[in-house]
A and B are shown apart, each in its own frame.
Chain A
Amino acid sequence: MANADTYLEISRLTVAFPKAPVPVLNDVELRIAKGEYVAVIGHSGCGKSTLLNVVAGLLPASMGGVVLDGREVTEPGPDRAVVFQNHSLLPWLTCYENVRLAVDQTLSKTMTRAERHEWTLHNLGLVRMEHAKDMRPAEISGGMKQRIGIARALAMKPKVLLLDEPFGALDALTRAHLQDEVMRIHAALGTTVMMITHDVDEAVLLSDRIVMLTNGPNATIGEILDVNLERPRDRLKLAHDPRFIEARAAVLEFLHARHAQPAL
């Protein structure tokens, strides 16, 4: 039943880990259009990362599946670039080399050496990190590492960008900076984005739609909220915008009233 502009389709997806009696995710159904920015929100442990990992191809689906641009996802690949929660930069490579490794691996058939060098620098520039290109991950701050992680993902020219709580480990100010940065990049490149988060403000500020997961196990999509705020968005102006406040309230309602976190 895919409608015409479905780009990424998750259909009837059930994921169970071996030995676990109950599946983590049950019957998840989601369609994402090209260029859309979708946030997935839910309580800790409900299966957000699991969902993202299946889309990335890092985890197999037990039932159902994922189709991207007409092709079924069976294994990981650079068309679904992931920015991991904990940056996952290779510590023995410089920032440049981290991005360059991904570029060399994924684009060596279509670009010459010189072009790949330029492309690597271009993507470092996109996240404003050219100045740190010769530093190693241990020598830069958490926010900078996350920027390099985003540059690495973008450099693969992915069809969809998968972000797993990309700013979760950052302080509020750095987080706001990076959110603005991601909005700018999304506007400039029109990348399709699926972002995991547990920050309600972040979800409302960045996304076109917010997918809310119910509590696990057997988690599924409880509700999908459309965020009808025109872009570019400005966090200061939106703070008093009734539509923003309303969307925020709706997500909070879902998370804390109807699907409050079960006692741990």
Chain B
Amino acid sequence: MNAGTKPLPAIPIVSRPAASFIPEDSRLVKVARIVLPPLVVLIALGLLWEVVMSGPTAALPPPSKVWTDARQLILDPFFDNGGLDKGLFWHLMASLSRVALGFALAAVVGILTGLLIGTSSLAMRGLDPIFQVLRTVPPLAWLPLSLAAFREAQPSAIFVIFITSIWPIIINTAVGVRNVPQDYRNVAAVIRLKGPAYFLRIVLPAAAPFIFTGLRIGVGLSWLAIVAAEMLIGGVGIGFFIWDAWNSSNLSDIIVALAYVGLTGFILDRAVAFIGKLVTRGTAID
């Protein structure tokens, strides 16, 4: 165990890479570097919140009260007492499934439309001005119209997601297609890559990073829109859960739900970014 009890192995006289002189961080240190700072900030903010909101006249509950009020909600997101009395997991799943449907539709339609207006300047001239106007319409402004058209809450909510997330997808896809670098087009011309093969082997991969940027913005907007839309349409879903808690003055539940909403949105964003990285094989920055 001790170095002194055994003869030391001969030190090889080859030159070592300089790296061995720089102490390398262990895995633990690396993880701590990422996790510790936000954790410290979080605790500091929590303490500040606790202090500020602890007075008898405070408008919002401090963390300690949130914990006592909503402990069941925090610790068991999976309970299901029927009706709307469910754990947050089920509410989130309901919201996520709406987002999944609306966003999937938006991705398919948006990418196809983007490819069209990226390739055809006629389609571009016809559609782009209209899109530029429509994309500025706030998501919730579409809700009454879609309720009138679909006469049901579920498809209306999905439509709002669709219409909210489709614009960045269309616009980014089109930009990606139009900005295929001249170099790549020259290469394709020299090897006579034309038509569908050109499209598949050059245009799509060159536009892929742009498309994923659009998808990432789109999924973020979807998540923003669904919470607001659900507040209005009711039913199971994290948006309505928040609204319901507000109506029964249950501020602690709202705070817990907000934390879940934020974390879910964060995970959605990272998930799309991750898929993008896989699909574009890390050439996104190139």
Tell yes or no: B122 within 8 A of A by CB. no
C-beta contact mask, B181-202 vs A, less than 8 Å → 1, else 0?
Answer: 0011011011111000000011
The reply to whether A90 and B187 contact each other, CB–CB distance below 8 Å, is yes
Tell yes or no: B129 within 8 A of A by CB. no
Known: A58-B186, A91-B286. A101 touches B281 (CB 8 A): no
The reply to whether A92 and B183 contact each other, CB–CB distance below 8 Å, is no
Q: Give the residues in chain A near B281, CB-CB below 8 Å.
A: 92, 136
The reply to whether B205 and A92 contact each other, CB–CB distance below 8 Å, is yes
> Interface with B: A35-43, A81-89, A189-197, which one?
A81-89
Q: Give the residues in chain A near B187, CB-CB below 8 Å.
A: 84, 88, 90
8 Å CB interface, B197-231 against A = 201-202, 205-206, 208
The reply to whether B191 and A102 contact each other, CB–CB distance below 8 Å, is yes
Known: A82-B186, A90-B202, A90-B205. A156 touches B191 (CB 8 A): yes
Work out how many contacts link A and B, with CB atoms closer than 8 A.
Answer: 58
Tell yes or no: B283 within 8 A of A by CB. yes
Q: Give the residues in chain A near B193, CB-CB below 8 Å.
A: 101, 105
A186 to B234, CA, bound (A): 75
If over half of A's interface residues share one DSSP class (helix, strand or loop), that class is named, otherwise mixed; here it is loop
A122 to B210, CA, bound (A): 36
The reply to whether A136 and B283 contact each other, CB–CB distance below 8 Å, is yes
Q: Give the residues in chain A near B206, CB-CB below 8 Å.
A: 92
B interface, how many residues as a size bin?
Answer: 10 to 19
Tell yes or no: B282 within 8 A of A by CB. yes
8 Å CB interface, A203-237 against B = none
The reply to whether A81 and B286 contact each other, CB–CB distance below 8 Å, is no
Least CB distance from B91 to A in Å reads 40
**B186, B187, B190, B286 — most chain A CB neighbours (10 Å):** B190
Instruction: Please give the residue numbers on chain B whose beta carbons come within 8 Å of chain A beta carbons, in ascending order.
Output: 183-184, 186-187, 189-193, 201-202, 205-206, 208, 280-283, 286
Instruction: Please give the residue numbers on chain A whose beta carbons come within 8 Å of chain B beta carbons, in ascending order.
Output: 56-58, 75-78, 80-82, 84, 86, 88, 90-92, 101-102, 105-106, 136-138, 156
The 10 closest A-B pairs by CB, nearest first: A76-B189, A88-B183, A105-B191, A91-B286, A91-B283, A92-B205, A102-B191, A76-B190, A92-B283, A88-B187
Identify 30 residue pairs between A and B in the complex whose beta-carbon atoms are under 8 Å apart, listed by A's number: A56-B190, A58-B189, A58-B190, A76-B189, A76-B192, A77-B190, A78-B192, A81-B190, A84-B183, A84-B186, A84-B187, A88-B186, A90-B184, A90-B202, A90-B205, A91-B286, A92-B205, A92-B208, A101-B191, A101-B193, A101-B201, A105-B191, A105-B192, A106-B191, A136-B281, A136-B282, A137-B286, A138-B282, A138-B286, A156-B190
